[in-house]
């Protein structure tokens, strides 16, 4: 069984579809903006005109879109309900533990097995040994999808049938990552202030801390060469994640000073017009 469907061809979904194709999978795709499929269709993917048609083409479907609201907009329609029955849905859109719980119930109601996955990697890391995808949900479904996820990431830890687990671990990881981002951007200002190279500093960090470091190495090059356009992780997309950190802190009555600080920093950069640019454009509001 080497057919896989990918719904959503943004920076991350595009990298997923591309990697599966390169590893010999027969990939069917659907994206709201069909033209984003052009380059992978040239390499052999099949583009369908509806999400339902794409889901019918494979036993396993991956969805990776902006947020859960979008995922329901795409999936919560009659022909998709029918197509999902008897198949496995892997949700790789970033979400909260509660959203994962609700979506598992929703998927099961429509006869689909559900795996919640959370990607701890940048799009350029997909398919590589540093990429991790946290997973939870039905064990039987996990056994079916493990080979596919193993193609996308060097580490695919499975946290059991408590479906909220992957999202909780992901939010904890993202909190750590976003702290690293802000520390790195402030470090960039220190280096700039003395005319030193930010990309070389990024390479040094990648040497001492490979996984997070390779993300920061990329951001160092973005800042050094002012390459903020065509991002692999846009500010707007990252802001959705910051919103999830705020939501989770509120739901669990936790201290929210850190996510609030992140939210203020991100707001400032989005208000300055950098929403569609790379997350590193935050540094421009720190100058
Ligand atoms: N990029 C990263 O570094 C990264 C890392 C880890 C996890 N993730 C997660 O991966 C997910 C996708 O991120 P991304 O970077 O690929 O985002 P992106 O580049 O902004 O892509 C968003 C995707 O959602 C689709 N979409 C948005 N609104 C839609 C709507 N109303 N109806 C149908 N489709 C809609 C877009 O379709 P169009 O092409 O038609 O706009 C596109 O396929 C997010 O949950 C993100 O947190 C991303």
Ligand 1 and 132: CB distance under 6 A: no
Ligand 1 and 107: CB distance under 6 A: no
Domains of the chain listed by start with CATH number = 3-162 (3.40.50.720), 167-286 (1.10.1040.10)
How many residues are recorded in the chain? Answer: 287
Best of 65, 71, 125, 266 for a ligand 1 pocket test (most atoms within 8 Å of beta carbon): 65
Ligand 1 and 122: CB distance under 6 A: yes
pLDDT at 210: 87
Best of 7, 10, 70 for a ligand 1 pocket test (most atoms within 8 Å of beta carbon): 10
| 154 close to 131: Cβ distance less than 8 angstroms | yes
Ligand 1 and 118: CB distance under 6 A: no
pLDDT at 150: 98
Q: Give the whole-angstrom CA distance, residue 190 versus residue 114.
A: 46
pLDDT at 1: 64
Distance 144 CA to ligand 1 centre (A): 25
Strand order in the sheet with 60-63: 46-47, 26-30, 3-7, 60-63, 88-91, 113-120, 132-137
Pairing of β 3-7 and β 46-47: unpaired
CA-wise closest residue to 218 among 263, 181, 183, 190: 181
**Cα-atom radius of gyration of the chain, to the nearest Å?**
19
pLDDT in tens, the chain (287 residues): 699 999 999 999 999 999 999 999 999 999 999 999 999 999 999 999 999 999 999 999 999 999 999 999 999 999 999 999 999 999 999 999 999 999 999 999 999 999 999 999 999 999 999 899 999 999 999 999 999 999 999 999 999 999 999 999 999 999 999 999 999 999 999 999 999 999 999 999 999 998 899 999 999 999 999 999 999 999 999 999 999 999 999 999 999 999 999 999 999 999 999 999 999 999 999 99
Q: What is the DSSP string of 200-224?
A: HHHHHHHHHSHHHHHHHHHHHHHHH
Ligand 1 and 285: CB distance under 6 A: no
Q: Give the whole-angstrom CA distance, residue 26 versus residue 52.
A: 17
Closest residue by Cα to atom 27, ligand 1, is: 66
Q: Give the whole-angstrom CA distance, residue 182 versus residue 13.
A: 26
Ligand 1 and 31: CB distance under 6 A: yes
pLDDT at 211: 87
Q: Give the whole-angstrom CA distance, residue 152 versus residue 70.
A: 23
* Secondary structure class of 151 (helix, strand, coil): helix
């Amino acid at each position: 069984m080497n057919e896989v469907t990918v719904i959503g061809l943004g920076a991350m979904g595009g990298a997923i579809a591309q990697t599966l194709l390169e590893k010999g999978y027969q990939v069917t795709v659907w994206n709201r903006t069909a033209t984003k499929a052009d380059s992978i269709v040239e390499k052999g993917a099949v583009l369908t005109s509806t999400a339902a048609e794409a889901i019918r083409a494979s036993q396993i479907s991956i969805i990776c879109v902006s947020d859960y609201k979008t995922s329901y907009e795409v999936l919560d329609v009659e022909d998709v309900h029918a197509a999902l029955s008897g198949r496995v849905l892997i949700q790789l859109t970033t979400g909260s533990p509660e959203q994962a719980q609700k979506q598992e119930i929703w998927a099961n109601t429509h006869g689909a097995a559900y795996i919640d996955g959370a990607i701890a990697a940048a799009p350029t890391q997909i398919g590589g040994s540093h990429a991790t995808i946290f997973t939870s949900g039905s064990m039987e479904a996990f056994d079916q999808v493990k080979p596919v996820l193993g193609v996308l990431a060097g580490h695919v830890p499975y946290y059991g049938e408590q479906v909220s687990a992957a999202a909780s671990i992901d939010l904890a990881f993202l909190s750590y990552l976003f702290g690293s981002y802000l520390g790195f951007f402030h470090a960039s200002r220190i280096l700039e202030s003395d005319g030193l190279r930010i990309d070389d500093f990024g390479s040094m960090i990648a040497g001492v801390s490979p996984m997070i470091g390779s993300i920061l190495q990329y951001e160092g090059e973005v800042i050094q060469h002012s390459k903020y356009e065509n991002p692999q992780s846009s500010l707007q997309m990252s802001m959705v994640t910051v919103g999830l950190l705020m939501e989770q802190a509120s739901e669990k009555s936790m201290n929210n000073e850190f996510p609030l600080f992140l939210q203020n920093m991100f707001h400032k950069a989005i208000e300055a017009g950098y929403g569609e640019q790379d997350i590193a454009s935050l540094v421009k509001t720190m100058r």
